[in-house]
């Protein structure tokens, strides 16, 4: 008899049941093996291999430069660590907007080459055909509305979206269109809390917010931001659970001083 307790994996059905039970869903990003292992063992339901890797891992100003090959590299590192969470991977800019065939090809590459469980696409009705085609291959799709960073040059700023009635109505219609097409969940980024709660109440599928208040079905944060590793990014919605930048810098400074003073390695740390 095996002594190992079997870990019950989070699936899209589990998330749907959580919404029906009004049990909140937690989601965090991860881009590498070591971080994904900690995030998974902490018990988050969804791990997002976000294209925010373009900012926090590669140092780009926007999410636009990251490539499909780079996303596959990050996703396969994450997958090797995860035993429980549902792993969702962003389709990067330029790999799904052209036509539904290229969207399907990109999603298939992610699933086949990384072993991920689902993909995420930014946009509303304009990407409906792509979402539909990906779904026909049996690949679960998560939507993303509100502030969609891949369209930053269209918006011009990272400010709150859908403050006016016209944009709010459009967002609700887009959310309904994504649900009708078959998305299993939706991210709402940086929209008024009242609008987000209305979307969460209207939709049957889970709505996960980031800067969208707490009357939604769950929350997502970028791990490097919530740990305080990134310092320059400080939007109102971001709660920092740590100041790892300072702690890590302190550890590095101590190490450097120990090396220079011959404090490290000690006799016990040598052969």
Site residues (CB under 6 A) for ligand KIV?
A: 29, 48, 50-52, 90, 187, 189, 210, 220, 222
Residue 8 Cβ vs ligand KIV, minimum distance, rounded to whole Å? 25
Nearest to 245 by CA among 51, 26, 56: 56
Residue 29 Cβ vs ligand KIV, minimum distance, rounded to whole Å? 5
Instruction: Return the sign of the alpha-carbon dihedral for residues 218, 221, 226, 227.
Output: positive
Q: Which is nearer to ligand KIV, 175 or 220 (CB)?
A: 220
Q: Which is nearer to ligand KIV, 111 or 119 (CB)?
A: 119
Q: How many CB atoms lie within 10 A of CB 258?
A: 13
Which residue of the chain is nearest ligand KIV when measured via CB? Answer: 50
Q: Which is nearer to ligand KIV, 128 or 190 (CB)?
A: 190
Q: Which is nearer to ligand KIV, 46 or 111 (CB)?
A: 46
Residue 201 Cβ vs ligand KIV, minimum distance, rounded to whole Å? 21
Q: Is 189 labeled as catalytic in the residue annotation?
A: yes
CA 229 to chain centre: 17
List 113, 167, 189, 269, catalytic entry: 189
| Alpha-carbon gap, residue 117 to 47, rounded angstroms | 10
* Backbone torsions φ then ψ of 98, nearest 5 degrees: -60, -60
Q: Which helix (H) or strand (E) holds 207?
A: strand 207-210
**Residue whose tokens read 């931001």:** 225
Q: Provide the annotated active-site residues.
A: 189
């Amino acid at each position: 008899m095996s002594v190992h307790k079997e870990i019950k994996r989070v699936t899209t059905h589990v998330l749907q049941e959580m919404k029906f039970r009004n049990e909140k869903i937690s989601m965090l990003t991860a881009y590498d093996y070591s971080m994904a292992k900690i995030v998974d063992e902490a018990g988050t339901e969804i791990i997002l291999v976000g294209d925010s890797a373009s900012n926090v891992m590669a140092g780009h100003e926007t999410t636009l430069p990251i490539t499909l090959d780079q996303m596959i590299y990050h996703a396969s590192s994450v997958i090797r660590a995860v035993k429980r969470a549902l792993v969702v991977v962003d389709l990067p800019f330029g790999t799904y907007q052209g036509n539904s065939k290229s969207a399907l090809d990109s999603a298939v590459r992610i699933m086949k080459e990384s072993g991920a469980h689902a993909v995420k696409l930014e946009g509303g009705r304009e990407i409906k055909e792509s979402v539909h085609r990906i779904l026909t291959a049996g690949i679960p799709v998560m939507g993303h509305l509100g502030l969609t960073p891949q369209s930053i040059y269209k918006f011009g700023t990272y400010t709150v979206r859908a403050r006016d009635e016209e944009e709010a109505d459009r967002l609700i219609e887009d959310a309904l269109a994504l649900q009708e097409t078959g998305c299993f969940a939706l991210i709402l980024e940086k929209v008024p809390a009242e609008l987000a709660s209305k979307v969460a109440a209207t939709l049957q599928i889970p709505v996960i917010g980031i800067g969208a208040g707490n009357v939604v079905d769950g929350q997502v944060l970028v791990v490097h931001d919530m740990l305080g590793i990134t310092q320059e990014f400080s939007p109102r919605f971001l709660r920092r659970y740590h100041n790892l930048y300072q702690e890590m810098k302190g550890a590095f400074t101590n190490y450097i001083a120990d090396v220079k003073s011959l404090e490290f390695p000690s006799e016990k740390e040598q052969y």
